[in-house]
Amino acid sequence: MNTPTLPRTPARPLSIVTGSSRGLGRAVVEQLLARGHHVLALARAKTELPAPPGATLEAWQVDLADAAPVAERLAAWLQAQDAAACSAVNLINNAGVVSTPAPLAQGDLAELANALRVGLEAPMLLSAAFLRATAGWGCPRKLMLVSSGLGRRAMAGSASYCAAKAGMDHLARVLALEEATQPNGARVVSLAPGVIDTDMQVQLRSADAARFPERTRFQGLKDGGQLDSPHEAAAKLLRALDRADYGSNPVSDVRELA
């Protein structure tokens, strides 16, 4: 007698998103779930969103200021996935931190270190885990680092943030070279997402103007209605991820994409 074969679940995309509890990351998770992704969401607060039929959300409450154990956990989690059941796999390193705006010499040392750890060390370690654990997977592999125009333009009062984002951009250039030599290498982009109406902008607008000369510029962007909503920014970010030429320019800006 023939053993009946169970119908195989159709392959679906798998996406990992950091900084998923609010702001841009939460909107990205919401839109990925609407597309039927299996999403792993990472932040200190729990990411709570409804998953429509066909989509699934797994949320980890983790502190990316201590990223090494999170990267190890991510590698083990990816190794336990059924790669054949994934139609695509993405890591979106979105979590970021602005330390209290002020000249470096006046900055709080713990805050400065935290901004570098969450903004640069964590994306590097999570990227290492992702690239290693998915190296043998046959589906398209995409890595995104959510950068900023401030990785490319220096802004007084924001040394830790500018340094983290500039480091992220150069990390993307290196990873793109490395992955280009690999069979089914990951496509890597460090993407500036535009200016977005989130808590991060509130923090910049509430800064001490005496220690942060550009505070008025950020207030002007808000007053002039020039901020994207998290929903709009997430849609732009995912349009960039969908592009056929994703990865052809490892340092990119949504405002420069047609």
Ligand X SMILES: NC(=O)c1ccc[n+]([C@@H]2O[C@H](COP(=O)([O-])OP(=O)(O)OC[C@H]3O[C@@H](n4cnc5c(N)ncnc54)[C@H](OP(=O)(O)O)[C@@H]3O)[C@@H](O)[C@H]2O)c1
Q: Which of 196, 206, 187 is nearest to 252 (CA)?
A: 187
Q: How far is the CB of 29 from ligand X (least distance, A)?
A: 10
Q: Is 24 in the site for ligand X (CB under 6 A)?
A: yes
Q: Is 115 in the site for ligand X (CB under 6 A)?
A: no
Q: Is 94 in the site for ligand X (CB under 6 A)?
A: yes
C-alpha to C-alpha distances, 84 to 64, 79, 146, 242, 252, nearest whole angstrom: 29, 12, 28, 21, 31
Site string for ligand X, 197-236 (x = CB under 6 A): -xxxx-----------------------------------
Q: Is 95 in the site for ligand X (CB under 6 A)?
A: yes
C-alpha to C-alpha distances, 60 to 39, 73, 109, 172, 192, nearest whole angstrom: 11, 10, 28, 25, 25
Nearer to ligand X, 67 or 86 (CB): 67
Nearer to ligand X, 116 or 118 (CB): 118
Which of 92, 118, 171, 188 contacts ligand X by CB under 6 A? 118
Q: Is 99 in the site for ligand X (CB under 6 A)?
A: no
Nearer to ligand X, 12 or 111 (CB): 111
Tell me, by CB under 6 A, how many residues bind ligand X: 27
CA separation for the pair 187, 198 (Å, rounded): 28
Q: Which residues contact 185 (CB under 8 A, 6 or more apart)?
A: 141, 178, 179
Both structure tokens of 17: 């998103």
Strand ranges inside the chain, DSSP E: 12-18, 38-43, 56-61, 86-93, 141-146, 187-192, 251-253
Q: How far is the CB of 135 from ligand X (least distance, A)?
A: 25
Stretch that binds ligand X, among 51-59, 61-69, 134-142, 175-183 (CB under 6 A): 61-69
Nearer to ligand X, 19 or 167 (CB): 19
Q: What DSSP element (H or E) covers 115?
A: helix 109-116
Which of 29, 133, 146, 241 contacts ligand X by CB under 6 A? 146
Q: Is 13 in the site for ligand X (CB under 6 A)?
A: no
Q: Which of 245, 239, 244, 242 is nearest to 254 (CA)?
A: 239
> For residue 5, how far is the Cα from the chain centroid?
39
Is residue 230 a contact partner of residue 24, using CB atoms and an 8 Å limit? Answer: yes
Measured from each CB, the residue nearest to ligand X is: 23
Residues 176-195 that bind ligand X (CB under 6 A): 193, 195
Q: How far is the CB of 187 from ligand X (least distance, A)?
A: 19
Nearer to ligand X, 39 or 86 (CB): 39
Binding site for ligand X (CB under 6 A): 19-25, 43-45, 63-65, 94-97, 118, 146, 148, 193, 195-196, 198-201
